[in-house]
Chains A and B, each alone.
With several copies, the nearest count.
Chain A
Amino acid sequence: MRREDLIFEQSRPGRRASTHAPATIAAIDDLPASVLREAPPPLPEVSELQVVRHFTRLSQLNFSIDTHFYPLGSCTMKYNPRVSNTLAMLPGFLARHPLEPDSHAQGVLESLFDLQELLKAATGMSGVSLTPMAGAQGEFAGIAMIRAWHLARGDTGRTQIIVPDAAHGTNPATASMCGCEAIEIPTGPDGDVDIDALRRAVGPKTAGIMLTNPSTLGVFERRISEIADIVHAAGGLLYYDGANLNAILGRALPAGMGFDVVHINLHKTFSTPHGGGGPGAGVVAVNSRLEPFLPIPIVGKRDGSYVWLSEADRPQSIGRLSGFMGNTGILLRAYVYMRLLGAEGMRRVSGYATLNANYLSTRLAAAGFTIAYPQRRASHEFIISLKDVARDTGATAMDFAKALLDRGFHAPTTYFPLLVPECLLIEPTETETRQELDAFVQALCEIRDLAFRDVGELKRAPQTTPVRRLDDVRAARQLDLVWHSRSGTVN
């Protein structure tokens, strides 16, 4: 493929995809010049064919689930059913103005109401709000609810959120967003939380704890009930980061583990697309304690019709999190997926995701790779550490990642969680075949062989991607964040 120039570089003054705007420009004679724009915005001036060709070509530069195995740990890159998209994009769903009367949106509202019920069933919780727009916003909502609960009890001093060191960055960041302090506790050698450290950490300032279970270390926190007792006894509540809910779907319920609130990344467990960065949906589910505080709006049912419940109906709510209702179109996609799967299908998600992860981890262990927690059962994901290879050859986890790209695989998550050196966090998901997993094992073995044989060659990877290894330092030092035409004009 030829280099794909920036669309700005393909622009010529006066060119237009003219069917998309009015044929003439309406005269604006009622407004003073002082409120009007002087120079037109510097948008590219291109034809429709140029646009189609440019973005079609750009798309081909991406790896994606639709083209590659993408075992990005913690991110759950599994097949996104095309029908979820097709149905969510039916004109009858797309045309809904968010402020139209409820009577006009019964088809949407019914679907969202059903989704709320399905999510209650999947978590064991008693209340759901669909409005958070991603996992991180679900976390925000959860911690805000915990705070509101404490405050409603008149307990104003609980400002600490306990977070294990393996936690995703959004957990401590969320604590800060909510005005809390994040208290980090260490992980024990077996991957479970260090219970003694937890005991030391809790106290009258404890608002709650955020846990991912299975954790981002790819193991199930076995002493979760004990943890719940400790935190509850100290007066705190438990937050379940549901990024890994796919690992236990239909096998265990966050409610059963003692959690008070959970967010679910629908774009992970319920297979809505990642879209190159979003949108997602980070719905929250709570037990009855926290129900009054759920963010609004929520879908209710009144006299056989579905209605949006808002401030008047939910006076204790932490409030709104978005201009309207959050990412409705994503919610519809998740709903379609859940209806396709049904109860059995959901249970199979956790079963086969775990099967694939354990198969891959067993095969990699047999091939001599270092599994981070070899004594543990892998959940839906697991970690290998390349520390030894790095020591012996100088090849890093990053080198392995880049070499995988050349072999037609997206890389696993690298250097996360932070506590495992030179790690790859590998999540194959249930939608990949055994044959694909075998090919992945073979690729990793080949790369390791290359590391020992010719690490210089390995460090030249990737060689088949549209660009070779990029200079990140330069990117951050010599900031170039927007295009400026060299000549000042576009030509």
Chain B
Amino acid sequence: MPFIPHTDDDLAAMLQTIGVADIDALFDEIPAALRVGGLPAVPPGMSEAAVVRLMRARAARNVDSLCFLGAGAYEHHIPAAVWELATRGEFYSAYTPYQAEASQGTLQLIYEYQSMLAGLVDLDVSNASLYDGATAFAEACLMAVRASRNRNSRRVLVARYLHPLWRKAAETLLRGQAVELVELPSSGGRTDMQALAALDAQDFAAVCLPWPNFLGGLEPVDELTDWAHGRNMLVIAVCNPVAIGLLKPPGKWGAQGADIACGEGQPLGIPLSSGGPYFGFMACRQALVRQMPGRIVGQTLDIEGRRGFTLTLQAREQHIRRSKATSNICTNQGLMVTAATIHLCLLGSEGLRRVAAQCHTNTRALVAALTSLPGVDLQFSPYFHEAVLTLPQPVAPVLARLAAAGILGGHDLQADFPELGHALLVCATELRTAEDIETYRQAMAGALGMAVAT
């Protein structure tokens, strides 16, 4: 019996202790009409060896490519130590640390994570994670609506070039509470400061600024932050945590800094893995901490005066506050945070800067290589880490040809942002070499139907 340790003797003795004849008798309170004899549509169990063979074959059926696709999920180097440590049984198979004294490993780690994350975004406090970048963004909007000084507003301004899938997810999550996302005016691949005047700014709880934005563009965050703060709005930074190893952190935007920072933790040591599990991060100014969703760990003392760590501010959470909680979140993405914490330690601040700088430099090299092809142009600059190219042809068939040649050439922007024309979003992380970029250039030339010097 897979994973069940009972011997026949155990079973007999236990049934006798309970005073029933067999296991089925233990289900006697389920009305007979509701009982089923089994699960006929489920196949029989398999040995581990057979499942290993099955899943290896499945893994092999997937197709690996040279990846120039970012768009919210990035192929970075993940040190081998990260997952070796994160999947140690004591981290992997523990629950949420409800009994603090028996979970100091997880708790100290989260405290360290909170410290690193807060430092990275340059805000006061961080929570212990949310599900992913999209839900963190949605929760940040809800939090801002709760915390806003524009009390009656349930509307939140969002830059146009925020991840379109996050926007969609947030719409699902905000719909119930009738919170509405309103798009900021844009031009040239970023928010148009000039056009802001047209907005009735008193009516908004917050403004959300992606950093860099979905196109790799650098929003005028300082001006926008000051503009928003001048109108009683909160400022929500939606940022790539690797990029802010190099870019100005939200806490330093404008005169007072952003109020909330959130984003997708995947670039910090989490494998691409078809989109998950990743984790959402969230940090904020101290004054907002009681509006923050999710678990938070605090430092305290034990009865002998020794330092220790425990879950705190639980009165925000569903298990205490129930229908008045800041969110319904319970299980979060703890293991991903474990990995990200280890990852950040292995990079350190200098390592993180170097990775960010290398990503950018590689993307610049990629842009230079591809725009050397006739008809391929860069749409916007400055950009960071990702860039939008214009192709002389519709993007989708070109990407299909590249994919057949073993290259994930980037993300087609046509559907979400038709105003950009034949627009392709490309990205080269620190893992892409000069040869990789040359391989792409040649493949792109082929996909566009050009001959090219090698």
Q: Smallest distance from the beta carbon of B154 to chain A beta carbons, Å?
A: 11
A405-435 vs B, CB cutoff 8 Å, 1 = contact: the mask equals 1000011011010000000000000111110
B-contacting 9-mer, from A113-121, A388-396, A445-453: A113-121
Which residues of B (369-389) have their CB < 8 Å from a CB of A? Answer: 381-382, 384
- Report the separation of the CA atoms of residues A14 and B348 in the bound assembly, to the nearest whole angstrom: 9
- Report the separation of the CA atoms of residues A275 and B33 in the bound assembly, to the nearest whole angstrom: 38
| Other-chain residue from A51, A64, A86 in contact with B345 (beta carbon distance below 8 A) | A51
Decide: B403 and A66 in contact? CB cutoff 8 A: no
Also in contact, A342 and B45, with CB within 8 A (given A327-B277, A328-B277): yes
Is B41 on the interface with A (CB-CB < 8 A)? yes
Also in contact, A343 and B300, with CB within 8 A (given A14-B7, A173-B327, A277-B128): no
Decide: A122 and B271 in contact? CB cutoff 8 A: no
- Report the separation of the CA atoms of residues A121 and B42 in the bound assembly, to the nearest whole angstrom: 7
A-contacting 9-mer, from B191-199, B244-252, B437-445: B244-252
Q: Smallest distance from the beta carbon of A414 to chain B beta carbons, Å?
A: 8
Q: Smallest distance from the beta carbon of A179 to chain B beta carbons, Å?
A: 4
Decide: A75 and B95 in contact? CB cutoff 8 A: yes
Is B426 on the interface with A (CB-CB < 8 A)? no
Decide: A85 and B177 in contact? CB cutoff 8 A: no
Decide: B295 and A277 in contact? CB cutoff 8 A: yes
Q: Smallest distance from the beta carbon of A161 to chain B beta carbons, Å?
A: 9
Is A334 on the interface with B (CB-CB < 8 A)? no
- Report the separation of the CA atoms of residues A173 and B122 in the bound assembly, to the nearest whole angstrom: 31
- Report the separation of the CA atoms of residues A107 and B63 in the bound assembly, to the nearest whole angstrom: 9
Is A368 on the interface with B (CB-CB < 8 A)? no
Is A487 on the interface with B (CB-CB < 8 A)? no
B257-300 vs A, CB cutoff 8 Å, 1 = contact: the mask equals 00000001000000111111111000000100100000111111
A91-110 vs B, CB cutoff 8 Å, 1 = contact: the mask equals 11111111111011111101
| Other-chain residue from A30, A49, A63 in contact with B382 (beta carbon distance below 8 A) | A30
Task: For the A-B complex with A62-B105, A377-B26 known, give 20 more contacts whose Cβ atoms are closer than 8 Å.
Answer: A35-B382, A55-B88, A66-B92, A87-B56, A91-B59, A121-B40, A121-B41, A179-B177, A219-B29, A251-B36, A256-B34, A278-B277, A326-B275, A343-B39, A405-B99, A431-B5, A432-B5, A434-B10, A480-B298, A482-B125
Decide: B222 and A34 in contact? CB cutoff 8 A: yes
B-contacting 9-mer, from A38-46, A193-201, A229-237: A38-46
- Report the separation of the CA atoms of residues A278 and B17 in the bound assembly, to the nearest whole angstrom: 36
Taking CB atoms, residues of chain B closer than 8 Å to A19 are: 2-3, 45, 47-48, 79
Taking CB atoms, residues of chain A closer than 8 Å to B83 are: 89
Decide: A111 and B58 in contact? CB cutoff 8 A: yes
Decide: B36 and A274 in contact? CB cutoff 8 A: no
Taking CB atoms, residues of chain B closer than 8 Å to A208 are: none
| Other-chain residue from A34, A36, A332, A467 in contact with B306 (beta carbon distance below 8 A) | A467
Decide: B331 and A134 in contact? CB cutoff 8 A: yes
B315-343 vs A, CB cutoff 8 Å, 1 = contact: the mask equals 10111111111011111111111100110
Decide: B350 and A431 in contact? CB cutoff 8 A: no
Is A336 on the interface with B (CB-CB < 8 A)? yes
Interchain Cβ contacts under 8 Å between A and B, 10 examples: A21-B358, A52-B81, A65-B89, A82-B81, A172-B323, A251-B27, A341-B2, A433-B10, A470-B101, A480-B298
| Other-chain residue from A16, A37, A89 in contact with B348 (beta carbon distance below 8 A) | A16
Taking CB atoms, residues of chain A closer than 8 Å to B274 are: 93, 96, 98, 105, 108, 324-325, 328-329
A-contacting 9-mer, from B110-118, B180-188, B200-208: B110-118
Q: Smallest distance from the beta carbon of B6 to chain A beta carbons, Å?
A: 6
Decide: A121 and B39 in contact? CB cutoff 8 A: yes
Is B313 on the interface with A (CB-CB < 8 A)? yes
Taking CB atoms, residues of chain A closer than 8 Å to B24 are: 351
Decide: B93 and A174 in contact? CB cutoff 8 A: no
Taking CB atoms, residues of chain A closer than 8 Å to B30 are: 220, 222, 248, 251-252
- Report the separation of the CA atoms of residues A70 and B90 in the bound assembly, to the nearest whole angstrom: 12
Is A345 on the interface with B (CB-CB < 8 A)? yes
Decide: B103 and A63 in contact? CB cutoff 8 A: yes
Decide: A63 and B335 in contact? CB cutoff 8 A: no
Decide: A86 and B80 in contact? CB cutoff 8 A: yes
Decide: B335 and A480 in contact? CB cutoff 8 A: no
Decide: A46 and B302 in contact? CB cutoff 8 A: no
Also in contact, A12 and B276, with CB within 8 A (given A82-B80, A144-B172, A471-B300): no
**Residue of A122, A256, A271, A322 contacting most chain B CB atoms (<10 Å):** A322
Also in contact, A359 and B17, with CB within 8 A (given A30-B382, A83-B52, A108-B58): yes
| Other-chain residue from B165, B222, B347 in contact with A21 (beta carbon distance below 8 A) | B347
Decide: B5 and A47 in contact? CB cutoff 8 A: yes
Q: What range describes how many residues of B lie at the interface?
A: 35 or more
Which residues of A (337-365) have their CB < 8 Å from a CB of B? Answer: 338-348, 350-352, 354-356, 358-359, 362-363
Is A397 on the interface with B (CB-CB < 8 A)? no
A-contacting 9-mer, from B65-73, B225-233, B446-454: B65-73
Q: Smallest distance from the beta carbon of A483 to chain B beta carbons, Å?
A: 4
Decide: B63 and A104 in contact? CB cutoff 8 A: yes
Is B4 on the interface with A (CB-CB < 8 A)? yes
Decide: B94 and A275 in contact? CB cutoff 8 A: yes
Residue of A nearest to B272 (CB): A97
Residue of B nearest to A72 (CB): B95
Decide: B105 and A87 in contact? CB cutoff 8 A: no
| Other-chain residue from B72, B245, B298, B328 in contact with A174 (beta carbon distance below 8 A) | B328
Is A48 on the interface with B (CB-CB < 8 A)? yes
Taking CB atoms, residues of chain B closer than 8 Å to A336 are: 51, 55
- Report the separation of the CA atoms of residues A7 and B129 in the bound assembly, to the nearest whole angstrom: 20
Is A462 on the interface with B (CB-CB < 8 A)? yes
| Other-chain residue from A179, A329, A476 in contact with B273 (beta carbon distance below 8 A) | A329
- Report the separation of the CA atoms of residues A23 and B281 in the bound assembly, to the nearest whole angstrom: 29
Taking CB atoms, residues of chain B closer than 8 Å to A278 are: 96, 129, 277, 331-336
| Other-chain residue from A24, A252, A359, A363 in contact with B34 (beta carbon distance below 8 A) | A252
Which residues of B (1-54) have their CB < 8 Å from a CB of A? Answer: 1-11, 13-15, 17-20, 23-24, 26-31, 33-36, 38-49, 51-52, 54
Taking CB atoms, residues of chain B closer than 8 Å to A93 are: 59, 62, 273-274
Is A187 on the interface with B (CB-CB < 8 A)? no
Taking CB atoms, residues of chain A closer than 8 Å to B289 are: 479, 481
Decide: B112 and A176 in contact? CB cutoff 8 A: no
Q: Smallest distance from the beta carbon of B121 to chain A beta carbons, Å?
A: 9
Is B434 on the interface with A (CB-CB < 8 A)? no
**Residue of B13, B77, B298 contacting most chain A CB atoms (<10 Å):** B298
Shortest 4 CB-CB contacts between residues of A and residues of B? A324-B275, A277-B334, A275-B335, A66-B89
Taking CB atoms, residues of chain A closer than 8 Å to B421 are: none
Is B391 on the interface with A (CB-CB < 8 A)? no
Decide: B23 and A352 in contact? CB cutoff 8 A: yes
Is A180 on the interface with B (CB-CB < 8 A)? yes
- Report the separation of the CA atoms of residues A359 and B18 in the bound assembly, to the nearest whole angstrom: 6
Taking CB atoms, residues of chain A closer than 8 Å to B295 are: 277
